[in-house]
Structure 1
Amino acid sequence: MSQALRRPETLLPLTALGITVIAFALIPTYTDSDISAFDVYNTFQIFARLGPIALALGLTMIAGEFDLSVVGTYALGGMLTVQAGQENFAYGLLAAVGAGAVIGLVQGCVIAGLKLPSMPVTLATYIALLGLTSALSGGLTKTYSNVSVTLWVDQTVLTYFSPRSLITLGLFGIAAVVLTYTRWGRELRAIGGDRRASRVAGVRVGRLVVGTFVASGVLSALGGSLLSFSLGSANPDPGVQPLIVATAAALLGGVSLAGGRGNTLGLLGGILAVALLAEIVTVAALPLYVTQLFYAGLLGTIVVIDAPDLHSALIRQRARLRFESARPSRAGTPPHRQI
């Protein structure tokens, strides 16, 4: 196995996606259900629903931050889309994306300017956004009446896709190009790995953090907007399930909790594995708690594996074993002559 394949950002998503693909293909052997083209289509629909949040959260994690507000921005984006886009979907889409950019800008400026930890700041934003969304809707689910848009975003394209899933794939493609071929991508990993060294090297850490949170806000709001178009409605409180699934997908995608590690293709593999798992549960008619228990066990396992102290201990143990194996045995060395 090459060194690149041994890296967590490559090994984890490849392993997770491979296992779920095999489990998906073997559904007819352990259930009475057969796999159809619709099951593959529905897997990509689940991916389209959760992909923007996972990508938004993964970008902030690579930078060494954690944006808990993604679900609040997701809910607000969907509600603004429904309320502002009844006559013209573009107005609703622009309202959602604009709100997401403003939310990310404010959060990024507060976190970078005051050098505050991101989790409490984004948690407060998450709670505030849920309250704002509920106030805008009166605590009720709002209906989107533009049926033509609802039908368009979920129409079948090339048997397995829809415009919504293709748009989500496009977002991952854009992020992959930016992270791989631009200075922003290299510096994003640098500040996640060692922020102090990045400042010494001349990286504008504050601007990068602000830009990352703006991207997170735009992606989250856009995801909520596309979901509202698809469902024909907006829910003021989507719950914490999207955040849990997005976190699991990011960790499965090889993103480190400590920051500085991860790539877009790994995130894509992680969210596709999660989407396949959700479809397996649906097709096999398994109880919902099976999925919840799996996510809990998965998150716990990955957190333990990703623990820095455990990595250091394993490295020390490997070095000690190599030293012991390389050192000549005392029994095989000739005794020293005495003068």
Structure 2
Amino acid sequence: MDRITRISNERFGPGMVPVVALSHNEINILPDFLAHYRGICDAGFLIVDDRSTDGSRDYLMAQPDVTLFEPVPGAEFLKERAIWKSGLLDHYGAGKWCLSPDIDELFVWPGAPDRSLRQYINALEAEGAEAAIALMIDMYGDMALADHVHDRADGQSLTERFCYFDGPGPFPAGYTMRPIARKQMRDFPTPPVRFNGGARDRLFFLQTAEPTPVQRGMIESYLRLDRTVTPRGLDYYMRMFMRQRTRHLFQGALNATKVGVFRWQEGTLFNGHTMNRRLRMSESIAALLHFPLTRGRAGIEYIVNRGQHAGGSKYYKTLLDGDGLDASPLCEHSLRYDGPQSLSDLMRDIPRG
């Protein structure tokens, strides 16, 4: 933990589940974040506050289960976030099952809420898995994107206010799961597949290439969510071939893949999306409910000016420069979220036997 410093009392105790996160000016959603993870496990929050100016730091300092850190002078979020996360996981999470969501992400898993997180982890262990992949599902409301503002003062939770998501649909709608490129397999092999799709692609990714009927058939048959998480043998080569023949259709598409829950191996480098060590992946698929827009137009302008998101926040800049902020993001594939059971067509349980 050379590049961060603890600034609160040590509040991580034996038996707690490490929940590692990075925070910057997210006071409006921090209560939802903490409440969610407190509700699913005995959470020990290990949070790096990256120079917040909106009261986040004082709020987090007052929480009895948050151990708070800050970057050392000169440290930069975009360049060093993987070092911060990995250092905390090495110190607090070695050999333990851990969670490392962003502050705007809520983890859900197959069988919840009837199956507890501990029971899900037990099932992962019985499967022989060391990690489970999670599909990022962007959440939104039936209102102009410029009006996507969250304030807990009115009593609404994040999932109540932004209660819609993109469900399955024929390509290019819906979601895809493709094997990662061979170079990434060498350098960052976990997870071995990459998700794309949902509202993030529909709103941010302006794809102009049209698939041929053959390419559409390849995607529908080999690159959807019903394939294995870890391709092997002939299935691997077939899916890599399909990936190559259709890759131009995904150039610029946003990554919707996270490692949702994992047993941490000390010395691993983890940037939130990928790990540089090969972990045995479950064949289940969990989900992270993602709330990227919660501060309206002003929040998007702040993200663009800060430039710390993927691609220097260029996707948010595209949204800001266009006319998309003035319309509701609802579409024909929008579904209403009424709990984890609403994701039954997107999440997948651990195979039996």
Structures share a fold, TM > 0.5?
Answer: no
Relative to its length, the structure with more strand (as a share) is 2
> TM-score, normalized by length of structure 1?
0.29
Answer 1 or 2: higher relative contact order, Cα 8 Å, separation at least 6.
Answer: 1
Larger Rg over CA atoms: 1
> TM-score, normalized by length of structure 2?
0.28
Relative to its length, the structure with more helix (as a share) is 1
